[in-house]
Chain A
Amino acid sequence: SAVISQKPSRDICQRGTSLTIQCQVDSQVTMMFWYRQQPGQSLTLIATANQGSEATYESGFVIDKFPISRPNLTFSTLTVSNLSPEDSSIYLCSVGRGHTEAFFGQGTRLTVV
């Protein structure tokens, strides 16, 4: 299995500011994934974070709004920039073990005021 730690678990931010979310995995993984869960909605993949290369973003998500870092094989950060109330969501990171196992962090609950 894999243990994922996310920080912070929750935060309240002013509009126009940014929040950086950290994701730490207890083992080395090639790819890490970031998801968003808007209130009352399902999870949507934001991007894939590869170590040593730029993140790959899904349709509707752009690097300027969601910059991602992947400095090593156990760590990644997601920044949500220029916050607006519409960014209020839960953000989660995940990793996989082949195609049979997926592990999710507990999520970061962001409220923008």
Chain B
Amino acid sequence: AQSVTQLDSHVSVSEGTPVLLRCNYSSSYSPSLFWYVQHPNKGLQLLLKYTSAATLVKGINGFEAEFKKSETSFHLTKPSAHMSDAAEYFCVVGVNTNAGKSTFGDGTTLTVKP
């Protein structure tokens, strides 16, 4: 069984300040973890993924996430927010046999203030 908890439903930051979106997971096996972004009325876009290689994962658009097994966390960060980062972000844990079958977190809405 697996589950994922996004600790913040809404995060608001000012442009140019750091972004932190928090995610904790639960999995009975070594997980595959993903962060997706969804802009309004758009499809899902993969930001980055962890699949048991390096624990610090770099993604697109300057985003990073660190897999911490001891804390069962996979928080998403970005050093400096842009207005274009405003969107919905989903932390996702994939089934160990097929990543297409995934459990999604409830999502975090990121607002970026000018």
Total A-B residue contacts, Cβ distance less than 8 Å: 66
Kindly state whether residue B77 has any CB partner on chain A within 8 Å. Answer: no
Chain A residues with a Cβ closer than 8 Å to the other chain, count: 25
Are B32 and A95 in contact (CB-based, < 8 A)? no
**A102–B103 CA distance with the chains assembled, in angstroms:** 12
Whether the Cβ atoms of B49 and A96 lie closer than 8 Å is no
Kindly state the interface size class of chain B when it binds its partner. Answer: 20 to 34
By a CB distance below 8 angstroms, the chain B residues around A105 are: 43
A102 B90 Cβ-Cβ under 8 A: no
For the complex, is A32 an interface residue (Cβ under 8 Å from B)?
yes
Judged by a CB distance under 8 angstroms, whether B3 is at the interface is no
User: Does B98 belong to the interface (CB within 8 Å)?
Assistant: yes
Interface residues of A, Cβ cutoff 8 Å to B = 29, 31-33, 41-45, 48, 92, 94-107
